[in-house]
Structure 1
């Protein structure tokens, strides 16, 4: 990014700079950088739609008129709210609290394991058998959850490094990048 400019070969940009998209205006004084970005998204979305339909050559060369931009733009922007709904929910969660819940579950399973030590061969009923099956399932689930947690935090780190560069290492709250 910015190759050949005084900013020179940037590897990332802070998401906070996206807020400036509305402030940077074109030479006409009306069109903002945000307008340009939306138009480029619409063009790429339109190109993908057309290539999926097989109508590439003629339509790719023609320019969209203003009305087509508005219609496609509203469609794309309208879908953003739905796409970002889960991001808002996830941003409201505290990853440390979720991790502590998993740790509490592990502690609870250890207590159940202690109870299983009291099994005697002549005992009747299915309590111990059922509890052992539950333990196996619960242990597997906890391993799976911890694996997903590690993977998610790794991906968050990658996204943060992409958008914030070296500032990611200084960030106290790793999920801050997703807060809306």
Structure 2
């Protein structure tokens, strides 16, 4: 739904700027969304945000009802409104994500990795002292833990790479070029 909202904003922006050098934009900046409330219609009350939401309600309602004509406008609006109201629940994860600091998370994963190396060294020292039955069980148990933890850290590091590439992709989508440093927080 958020992607549809952005598409409608971009199309509306392009339509409003037909004939200018801004009339064929392929991306928009996030601060453009803040301006939707400021742009008012001829009545001075209706904002561009109202128009965008109404347009999404209309098109989603028509899509869900299976008709492109306004045969039952009330039914279409009701269906479209249900879809648009789901945007709030879609964006709840954004708030949680915004509170997460990627650098801190990355440093924590590095610390865990270094900690596993330290644990491995301690286990090797214990093993060099000769293994009785209790040390052997401890060594086997810790080595299983280390293998599982290393696999998990590798999985987390792979997800970290995916997250960075998604940040880059989103940055390109909103800003129209990839020369913007990844440190830019969205």
Q: Which TM-score bucket, shorter chain as reference?
A: 0.7 to 0.9
Q: Name the structure 2 match of 1:40.
A: 55
Q: Name the structure 2 match of 1:152.
A: 163
Once structures 1 and 2 are overlaid, which stretch shifts more, 79-88 or 125-134? 79-88
| Gap runs ≥5 in structure 1 | 51-55
Q: CA deviation at 1:62?
A: 1.3
The alpha-carbon distance between structure 1 residues 48 and 157, as it changes in their structure 2 partners (threshold 3 A), is: same
Residue 21 (str. 1) matches residue 30 (str. 2): no
Q: Determine the C-alpha separation between the residues in 1 that align with 2:44 and 2:74.
A: 18
**SS of corresponding position for 1:109:** helix
Residue 124 (str. 1) matches residue 166 (str. 2): no
Q: Determine the C-alpha separation between the residues in 2 that align with 1:18 and 1:162.
A: 14
In the TM superposition, structure 1's runs of 4+ consecutive aligned residues that sit over 3 Å from their partners are 1-4, 27-30, 63-69, 71-78, 168-172
> After superposition, where does 1:29-178 map in structure 2 within 5 Å?
29-50=44-65, 56=66, 59-62=67-70, 65=73, 69=77, 71-72=78-79, 75-117=82-124, 118-119=126-127, 122-125=131-134, 126-166=137-177, 169-171=179-181, 173-174=183-184, 176-177=185-186
The alpha-carbon distance between structure 1 residues 93 and 103, as it changes in their structure 2 partners (threshold 3 A), is: same
- Where relative contact order (Cα < 8 A, 6+ residues apart) is larger, the structure is 1
Aligned residues: 167
Q: Determine the C-alpha separation between the residues in 1 that align with 2:24 and 2:170.
A: 18
RMSD: 2.6
Do 2:167 and 2:182's aligned partners in 1 also have CA atoms closer than 8 Å? Answer: no
TM-score between the two structures when normalised by the length of structure 1:
0.79
| Gap runs ≥5 in structure 2 | 1-9
Do 1:13 and 1:165's aligned partners in 2 also have CA atoms closer than 8 Å? Answer: yes
Do 1:38 and 1:73's aligned partners in 2 also have CA atoms closer than 8 Å? Answer: no
